[in-house]
C-alpha cells in the first residue's frame, strides 16, 4: 500500500513539475509578447520592411546611424577595414571607433543589411532594442529573486523609460541596452559568491567587449557602475575588507585583461588611430545643466503628465521628443519604498547608491532647484576632466539610474507579493499593498507616449541603386554631391548607404579632430564658395543669417569669373571625379546654375531629376 501511495505521489509530483515548467514558459511568453507589442506599437507607422521611411526626418543623426550600420556590412563583404574609412569625409576619412558606429551591431546584423538594406536594419534594431532591453532586465530580475509582477515592471521601466524613448528613437546604441542588466547581474552574483572567479572573468569580459563594440559610452557607463558596486561591496564587508579586495580584484582584473586582449585593435584605433579624437566629442557637454523639476515633468511626448510638462533647453531631438531625465513621481515613490524595504541588503544599498549618484550626474555641471531657483554644483564636475568619462552626454547617465530605480521597484513589489503569499485573503486590503499596487500601475502608465514615432519619407533617389549609376559613378570615384552632406542636411550619406557605398563622398556627418585640438562635426572643405552655394540653395532663405552651425556660412557669392575659378580649384584640390546633382532643397535651380556655368550642362538621368558632371578620368584608385 505504501509503495502504491509512493508511486502515485511520485507520478503526481512529476505531473506538477511539468505543469510548473509549462506555466513558467507561458509567463515568459506573455511578458515577452507585452514588450514586443509595445515596441511594435511605437513604430506602428513604419512598414515591416522599411526602404523609404525614416524616423522624424531624413536628416541628422538618423541618417548618420543608417550609414554606420551600412558600413560594417560593406566592410565585411569587401574585406575592408571596419575601423577607418574614407568613404565619406574624403580625403581625411573618419575614425569609426571614436564615433557612435555600433560596429558590434553592424557586424551581427550584417546578413539583414545585405538582404534588406541598412535602413530596414536600422528600424528593426530600434524596435529590437526596446524589446531586448526589457526582456534582459526582466530575466535578470527574476534570476535575482524577483516576483513575476516585479520582473515585468522592472523590465518595462528600464526598457521603455523616457531616456530610452527619446534616445532610442534615433540611436540604436542607446535603445539596445540589453547587455547592461547582465553586466550588473554577473557582478552581483560574483559578489554573493555564487559564481567562480574564472567564469565571472570570462562572462564579464565578453559582456564588456560587446558593450565597447556597441558604444564606448555604454562601456564607460558600465565601468563606472561596476566601480561603485566594487566599492560598495568592500564597504559592506569592511570587517574583512582586505580579503574582500583581493577576492574581487582577482575576478575584475581577469575580466579586464581578457577584454583588453580581444579589444586590442579597436582600442588602438580609439586612442591612437587616424582621425581619433582627444577631447569632448559633444559641444553640449560643457554647458549641460538641467532643472530638478524635469524628474517630475515630462516633455510633450508623454501621455500621462499629472504635474505638467516641461520643455527643456537641451533638446536631444527636434519637436516634442525632449527631457530624457523624466522618471515621474510614482516611480520615484515606489523606488523609495523599495529602497526602505531592502535597506539592510547589499543589493538594495548598491541600487540606491547607483540611482542617487548617476541621477545627480545626469544633471550635468549644475543642478537647478525649482521654485527657489538655487543652482548647486553636481558631482559631474568631478569627472568633467577625466578622459573618456568627460566625453559622454550627461543625460545618458539616466540609463544606470533607471536600471537601479527599476530594481528598487522590484524590491517593493517583492515585499508586497510575500505579504500576499502569507495572508492571501487579507493582503489586498492592507494599505501598504494597495499603495504599492497603485504606484506600480502609475509608474507603467507614465511610460506611455502620446504619439507613435513619425515615419517620414527619406526623399532619397532610387536611381543610385541602378546599374546605370554604377557605370556613371565608378567604383571608388570621389564624388562631390548636391546637396553637400554636413551635420544637418546629410541626405547624400543616406543615398550613399542605400546604394551600396561603392563611391567616396566629400563631406558628411561625424566627429573628427580639428588642427587646434578641438573636435567638431565634419567641416566643409575649401574654397568655401562651393559649400556656400550648395548650402544657400538647399535652405529656405537664400539670404538668411546662419548662426546655428559651428562654421561660418557666407552670403551667396556672385556668379562671376572668380567664383567659377573657385569651383574649379575645389575639384582640382580634392581630386573630385564626378559631381552628382539631384533636385533637392528649396532652390536647387540656383546650385544648378552655378554648376552649369562652371562645368557645362553635364549629363541628365532619371527623367531629369539627376545630373552628373564627369570632370576627369575616374579610374579605380
SS3 for 277-324, per residue? CCCCCCHHHHHCEEEHHHHCCCCCCECCCCCCCCCCCCCCCCCCCCCC
Span 56-65, pLDDT tens digits:
888 888 999 9
C-alpha–C-alpha distance, residues 34 and 207, integer Å:
26
What angle do helix axes 398-422 and 329-341 make, rounded to 10 degrees?
60
Identify the residue with better confidence: 267 or 621.
267
| Collapsed DSSP state (helix, strand, coil) of residue 455 | strand
Backbone angles phi, psi at 478, to 5 degrees: -90, 125
**pLDDT value of position 5:** 44
Q: What is the pLDDT of residue 621?
A: 36
Mean pLDDT of 228-238: 87
* pTM summary value: 0.90
Q: How confident is the model at residue 167 (pLDDT cuts 50, 70, 90)?
A: confident
Buried b (16+ CB within 10 A) or exposed e, 541-569: eeeeeeeeeeeebeebbeeeeebeebbee
In order of 11, 34, 125, 196, 512, the CA distances from 41 in angstroms are 45, 11, 15, 42, 37
Which residue in the block uniquely carries the three cell numbers 515596441? Answer: 39
Q: What ranges do the domains of the chain cover?
A: 117-445, 462-614
Inform me whether the pLDDT recorded for 424 exceeds 80.
no
The pLDDT confidence band at residue 361, using thresholds 50, 70 and 90, is: confident
Over residues 80-86, the mean pLDDT reads 94
| Selected residue with higher pLDDT from 280 and 333 | 333
- In angstroms and rounded to an integer, the radius of gyration of the C-alpha atoms of the chain is 27
For residue 276, give the nearest of 519, 506, 522, 88 by alpha carbon. 519
- Angle of CA points 498, 503, 508, to nearest 5°: 75
Question: What does residue 232 show for φ and ψ, rounded to 5 degrees?
Answer: -60, -40
* Half-sphere exposure in the Cβ direction for 601 (13 Å, CA): 4
Distance CA 411, CA 417 (A): 10
Closest CA to 27 of 126, 178, 146, 184: 146
Spell out the alpha helix ranges (H) of 345-490.
Answer: 346-361, 398-422, 431-445, 467-472
Burial pattern 429-439, b for ≥16 Cβ within 10 A else e, equals: eeeebeebeeb
Amino acid at each position: 500500500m505504501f509503495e502504491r501511495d509512493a508511486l502515485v505521489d511520485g507520478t503526481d509530483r512529476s505531473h506538477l513539475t511539468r505543469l510548473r515548467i509549462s506555466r513558467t514558459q507561458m509567463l515568459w511568453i506573455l511578458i515577452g509578447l507585452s514588450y514586443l507589442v509595445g515596441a511594435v506599437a511605437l513604430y506602428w507607422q513604419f512598414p515591416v520592411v522599411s526602404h523609404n521611411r525614416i524616423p522624424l526626418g531624413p536628416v541628422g543623426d538618423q541618417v548618420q546611424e543608417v550609414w554606420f550600420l551600412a558600413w560594417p556590412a560593406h566592410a565585411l563583404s569587401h574585406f575592408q577595414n571596419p575601423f577607418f574609412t574614407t568613404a565619406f569625409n574624403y580625403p581625411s576619412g573618419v575614425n569609426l571607433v571614436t564615433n557612435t558606429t555600433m560596429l558590434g551591431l553592424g557586424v551581427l546584423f550584417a546578413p539583414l543589411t545585405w538582404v534588406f538594406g541598412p535602413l530596414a536594419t536600422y528600424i528593426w534594431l530600434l524596435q529590437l532594442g526596446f524589446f531586448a532591453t526589457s526582456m534582459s532586465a526582466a530575466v535578470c530580475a527574476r534570476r535575482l529573486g524577483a516576483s513575476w509582477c516585479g520582473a515585468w515592471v522592472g523590465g518595462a521601466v528600464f526598457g521603455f523609460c523616457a531616456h530610452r524613448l527619446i534616445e532610442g528613437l534615433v540611436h540604436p546604441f542607446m535603445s539596445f541596452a540589453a547587455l547592461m542588466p547582465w553586466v550588473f547581474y554577473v557582478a552581483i552574483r560574483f559578489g554573493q559568491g555564487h559564481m567562480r572567479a574564472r567564469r565571472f572573468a570570462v562572462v564579464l569580459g565578453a559582456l564588456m567587449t560587446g558593450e565597447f563594440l556597441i558604444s564606448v559610452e555604454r562601456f564607460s557607463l558600465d565601468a563606472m557602475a561596476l566601480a561603485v558596486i566594487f566599492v560598495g561591496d568592500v564597504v559592506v564587508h569592511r570587517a574583512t575588507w582586505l580579503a574582500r579586495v583581493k577576492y574581487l580584484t582577482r575576478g575584475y582584473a581577469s575580466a579586464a585583461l581578457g577584454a583588453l586582449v580581444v579589444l586590442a585593435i579597436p582600442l588602438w584605433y580609439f586612442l591612437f588611430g587616424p582621425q581619433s579624437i582627444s577631447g569632448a566629442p559633444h559641444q553640449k557637454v560643457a554647458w549641460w545643466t538641467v532643472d530638478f523639476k524635469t524628474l517630475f515633468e515630462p516633455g510633450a511626448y508623454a501621455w500621462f503628465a499629472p504635474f505638467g510638462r516641461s520643455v527643456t533647453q537641451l533638446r536631444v531631438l527636434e519637436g516634442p521628443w525632449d527631457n530624457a531625465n523624466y522618471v515621474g513621481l510614482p516611480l520615484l515613490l515606489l523606488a523609495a519604498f523599495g529602497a526602505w524595504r531592502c535597506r539592510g541588503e547589499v543589493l538594495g544599498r548598491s541600487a540606491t547608491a547607483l540611482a542617487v549618484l548617476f541621477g545627480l550626474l545626469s544633471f550635468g555641471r549644475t543642478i537647478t532647484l525649482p521654485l527657489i531657483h538655487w543652482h548647486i554644483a553636481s558631482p559631474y564636475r568631478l569627472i568633467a576632466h577625466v578622459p573618456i568619462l568627460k566625453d559622454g552626454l550627461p543625460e545618458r547617465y539616466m540609463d544606470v539610474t533607471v536600471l537601479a530605480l527599476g530594481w528598487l521597484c522590484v524590491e517593493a513589489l517583492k515585499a508586497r507579493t510575500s505579504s500576499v503569499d502569507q495572508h492571501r485573503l487579507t493582503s489586498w486590503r492592507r494599505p501598504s499593498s494597495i499603495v504599492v499596487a497603485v504606484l506600480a500601475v502609475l509608474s507603467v502608465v507614465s511610460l506611455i507616449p502620446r504619439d507613435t514615432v513619425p515615419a517620414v519619407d527619406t526623399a532619397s533617389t532610387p536611381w543610385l541603386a541602378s546599374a546605370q549609376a554604377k557605370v556613371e559613378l565608378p567604383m571608388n570615384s570621389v564624388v562631390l554631391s548636391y546637396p553637400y552632406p554636413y551635420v544637418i542636411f546629410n541626405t547624400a550619406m543616406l543615398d550613399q548607404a542605400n546604394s551600396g557605398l561603392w563611391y567616396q563622398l566629400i563631406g558628411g556627418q561625424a566627429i573628427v579632430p580639428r588642427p587646434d585640438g578641438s573636435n567638431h562635426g565634419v567641416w566643409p572643405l575649401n574654397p568655401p564658395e562651393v559649400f556656400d552655394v550648395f548650402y544657400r540653395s538647399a535652405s529656405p532663405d537664400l539670404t538668411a543669417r546662419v548662426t546655428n552651425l559651428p562654421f561660418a556660412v557666407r552670403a551667396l557669392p556672385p556668379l562671376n569669373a572668380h567664383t567659377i575659378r573657385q569651383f574649379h580649384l575645389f575639384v582640382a584640390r580634392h581630386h573630385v571625379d564626378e559631381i552628382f546633382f539631384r533636385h533637392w532643397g528649396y532652390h536647387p535651380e540656383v546650385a544648378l546654375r552655378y554648376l552649369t556655368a562652371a562645368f557645362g550642362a553635364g549629363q541628365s538621368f532619371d527623367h531629369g531629376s539627376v545630373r552628373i558632371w564627369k570632370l576627369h578620368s575616374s579610374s579605380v584608385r
